Structure 1
Amino acid sequence: MKKIFYIKILITLLLLIILGGLIVHYQHHPYMLITFVLMTAGLISYQLMILKNALNHSILIVEAIGNEDLSFLNSKNYQQFNGTYQYRLEKIQHSFSKIKKDSIRQEKYLDWIIENQDVGICTYDENGHVLHVNSSFKDKINLSIFTHTNQLFTKTFLTKELIEKSFNQNTLELENSNLVLKARQLVREDQTVFLLTLQDISNELEEKEHLSYSKLIRVLTHEIMNGMTPIISLSDSMLMTMTDEEHEPVSFENLNQKVINTNVKSLKVINSQAEGLMNFINIYRSISKLPTPKMKEVNVDNFIQEELNSFDEVIHKYNIHTEMINVNNSEIYHYFDPTLIHQCVHNIIKNAIEAMTNVNNSKLTIEFEKKEQLVIHIINNGPMIPEEELKHIFVPFFTTKNTGNGIGLALCKQIARVHKGNLKVESEGNKTCFTLKI
């Protein structure tokens, strides 16, 4: 094929040379000159047509390659190309084929990874059509077939409001379940894609619960051992003074006043330690068994103001600036147990004031707003709470104070829980914020 192509070119050049010579030779003979000029023009036109066809074939092949259509390799037009061009086109074909196979392999690999994730994953387009969803997501929403987001709103616990809220907050803990919903908006080429993920955090919650129990057990063991050690020591000493070598009780005649006085002192210490342990147990029972909240509608603005008023004396004493911020800019009413929430808020404010006793320009801010829940932020500008203390701050009986039993914040946490809410703390720089949600 290649040799024939070059022979054709050589013959064409020879013919053009011959025709050129003839035109020069017969330039004074009009008829002969016109004849040879027409022959030359015809030959050049023929060659131009061949080049045009070859160019058209090349353009078609380039377009086919651009469209990933390699069927031209079996066409007659392809056979017209010489071996060099065929070899190069076949290399392109092999490259495209390899890229396509690698792409399919990669896509299947990614599909396999997504399908085998415990996290539920779903993507959908602007019209709500599901582009991809794994089995974990369908299991969590209890749908075997899921093709459009309308199914979420009509057949599952995921409402349109929850989806919109998750896009605003990025991460949303779903009530009455151990699921966390996350939402993202992605742009893929010229298409907007929405991503939803559902994650079961039961294991994480169990791990936290286990850690909480471990911390509590350590604290309980520490307190009980501290209480029991002097009781055991003193009771052993009393037994030694009240029994003989054979561990039999000594007679009354063998007891002197000194022994009696010593034993009485020991009994007083034992009694005091026993009372302390009993008080400790009662305190623990008060945390673990809170009464059922007696819910009533409360004016939150008045409630917060009354809490601040109860600290007027100490606020004036330490020259603490206070600020109350109602984010809603209108009176807020909410249902909760005012007695229990008073105990919680009062304790947090008390701790905040104690943290600012040695702070210049001390400030206490209470900011509150009502969304789905009532959210109260109690902020002080006292010293930052060390990270190690933050980890244990809600553990019962954990305290860094010389006085106090370390149950205040643990009790506040329980009060928030019985109101189906939570209590969190953040401390950074000269700002510590307790956030109560109920």
Structure 2
Amino acid sequence: MEDNPLFILDNGGYQYKAGLSINDKPIVFPNGLVKCKNDRKRVYIGSEFAELQDKVGLYYQLAFEKGYLVNWDVEFQVWEQMFSGNCCNLSIPETDLILTDPNCNIPAVKDCSYEVVYEYFGFNGLYKTSSSGLVALDSLERENKKLCLVVDSGYSFTHILPYVDGKLVADNVVRIDVGGKLLTNQLKDWITYRQLNVLEETFIINQVKEDCCFISLSTKLDFEIAKRSIPINTIKCEYVLPDYVTLSKGQKLKPGQFSMTQYPDNQMITLNTERFVIPEILFNPSGIEINQMGISEAVNYVIEKFNEPFQGGLFSNIKPIGGNVLFSGFKERLYSDVRSNCDASFDVNVNMSPNPLIEAWFCSKRNEEYLRKLIITKKDYDEHGVNYCKKKFLNFYHLND
């Protein structure tokens, strides 16, 4: 008997990563509704964002708030557009769905996804987990590593998540309220205060952040470099903001490349210490008066809550995922900090995939055969109800077991 098509939806707070398991890679689009300042009548839903040419003054209405899916009226529209012939063109009654949800890590809000998936859309079957759960499963099934520490740093938050035998140790999870949204907003505030009002340009400044920012391996040294003049100052750079007429994407200029004749109608900004101070918030939230641990400190804290037999396996299998880990220098900084604060007898390995943003989707694709066995069909849901699904999907590891 031929298997049903399997649709994998890594449903992130800012972007969704989606596609059939037979696809080579997922599509990635905003998980929400977008309006443009110059065309207020049209609402761009999900993948329709690709049709938007002028990205000045964008307004977002996202399905997620503070990392949790709460705006179901928005999500309905995004999913309907995604599943339709205009995007993925699914035959829903014959399709099984793998769905990620941060609520599987720490159940914190009312979960309507079962009713939506089974009753409203009518999928044939569902398996629900978290992005980190898929990464831990991949580590267990393909690498035979029973211990795994996932660092999931995305749009709304950063989670430090320990796994044993593919199951989350929920009592030892740490959440840090720093994500990509906070970093972008902080950069908007600083540029607005120091140079140019960009408070309404979230999309553009997010692109500036991704193009220009990096994780410092020595903030003291980089501050000294930033005080100097070019060419000794290798940190300072100019950035040309797009006008979506002559320039459709912002452009980072190298030192000495500045030319107003080349970009006569575009506004330019200068970045210096902002390039490394913004992502430094991930490692030192107290710098902007957030009284929480940074990523490296939280990793050591979580692992040290375990007995020694567990610690070695967790230190040796740290897996970062999410958009924030794409900053240049993230892997090296995390390794350096964790290594310097743990016992010398432990091996520390930070195992980062080539594309951490879509790693959870690929983990699901690689483990399709295993995941199919965990799917609960609509028939089983109709017979047993929501609580049956929750017991199957929310499967935690208890250290006292």
Could you state the TM-score of these two structures normalised by the residue count of structure 1?
A: 0.16
Structure richer in helix, relative to its length: 1
Q: Specify which structure has the bigger relative contact order, considering alpha-carbon pairs within 8 angstroms and separated by 6 or more residues.
A: 2
State which structure, 1 or 2, has the greater radius of gyration over its C-alpha atoms.
1
